[in-house]
Amino acid sequence: MIVLKSKAEVAKIAAAGAIVADCLDMLAAAVEPGVKTNRLDRLAEAFVRDRGGEPTFLGYRGFPASICASPNDVVVHGIPGVHAVREGDILSIDAGVTLDGYVADSALTVAVGAIDAQARRLMDVTQASLEAAIGQCRVGHRLGDVSHAVQMVVEKAGFSVVRSLVGHGVGREMHEDPQIPNFGEAGRGPRLEEGMVFALEPMVNVGGWDVFVADDGWTIHTSDSSLSAHFEHTVAVSEAGPQVLTRRRSEKAA
């Protein structure tokens, strides 16, 4: 069942979302060659707590950190650790914040120093596919329109959409109904209504869409070791159009 949120609830998710957005901007600015992902994790936890929030991921089903840090061929759910990123890497960072009982969830992929043209294009296409999905979050559209929008952008660019991982409803819990695949048929699925709040999160691979879970039980890699990017926003459906609740200041400026 898709739980609809009142305007007051959407405002609370937006307050959590503002912390997520600023946290991700802070982390993106801290990424440089040689930075260890556990340093980013400590920065994130301190930032979120300082703003009065709780890092939603910490302890979630036993997850040991406040962010996911997923370099290169890691799609999502990378555990921060002593791994240092290197010039030319890409790094996906995912963060969730709980504030006053409400949750927002967002992610981005950042370049570590100078990256090659294909990595840049992968990031740009993934971000564009997220924006296409956001554009479909309108009252009366269908969930399949959102999924289809991602798939079209990604496959037109010659990349592939991860099939086994999905976006989700969000707000009172981190993961709520519905599941939101990043592929699908337009015109199918539930009709979108005012008060639905979604975490839209295309995960896009340069190579094939197949992935596997590492022995740590969390880290998800591309099966062909190709690069993967991940962008995510928490978005409310409203009569006024899509409301992005995790928009970063760096995006507004861009």
Token pair recorded at residue 4 = 């609809």
Which lies closer to Mg ion via its Cβ, residue 51 or residue 224?
A: 51
Give the dihedral sign, CA 114/160/151/173: negative
Q: CA of 202: how far to CAs of 61, 84, 91, 168, 228, in Å?
A: 22, 25, 15, 11, 10
Q: Minimal distance in Å, beta carbon 158 to Mg ion? A: 25
Which lies closer to Mg ion via its Cβ, residue 85 or residue 166?
A: 166
Which lies closer to Mg ion via its Cβ, residue 159 or residue 198?
A: 198
DSSP string computed for 28-65: HHH--TT-BHHHHHHHHHHHHHHTT-EETTTTGGG--S
Which lies closer to Mg ion via its Cβ, residue 9 or residue 201?
A: 201
Stretch that binds Mg ion, among 84-92, 103-111, 125-133, 142-150 (CB under 5 A): 103-111
Q: Minimal distance in Å, beta carbon 79 to Mg ion? A: 14
Which lies closer to Mg ion via its Cβ, residue 94 or residue 176?
A: 94
Q: Minimal distance in Å, beta carbon 26 to Mg ion? A: 17
State which of positions 30-89 bind Mg ion (CB under 5 A). none
Side chain identity at 246, as an amino acid letter? T
Measured CA to CA, the distance from residue 157 to residue 110 in angstroms comes to: 19
Stretch that binds Mg ion, among 11-19, 189-197, 216-224, 226-234 (CB under 5 A): 226-234
**One of 22, 41, 105, 145 touching Mg ion (CB under 5 A):** 105
# of chain residues touching Mg ion (CB under 5 A): 6
Token pair recorded at residue 67 = 């962010």
Q: Minimal distance in Å, beta carbon 60 to Mg ion? A: 11
Which lies closer to Mg ion via its Cβ, residue 94 or residue 131?
A: 94
**One of 94, 131, 145, 176 touching Mg ion (CB under 5 A):** 94
Is there binding between residue 199 and Mg ion (CB under 5 A)?
Answer: yes
233-236 and 243-244 strand pairing: antiparallel
Burial 218-234 (b: 16+ CB within 10 A, else e): bbbbbeeebbbbbbbbb
Q: CA of 73: how far to CAs of 27, 80, 96, in Å?
A: 20, 15, 22
Measured CA to CA, the distance from residue 214 to residue 15 in angstroms comes to: 34
Which lies closer to Mg ion via its Cβ, residue 93 or residue 206?
A: 93
Q: Could you tell me if 20 and 247 are in contact, meaning their C-beta atoms sit under 8 angstroms apart?
A: no
Stretch that binds Mg ion, among 11-19, 97-105, 123-131, 237-245 (CB under 5 A): 97-105
Side chain identity at 142, as an amino acid letter? R
Stretch that binds Mg ion, among 9-17, 115-123, 129-137, 232-240 (CB under 5 A): 232-240
Q: Minimal distance in Å, beta carbon 11 to Mg ion? A: 20
The residues that touch Mg ion, with contacts defined as CB under 5 A, are 94, 105, 107, 199, 201, 232
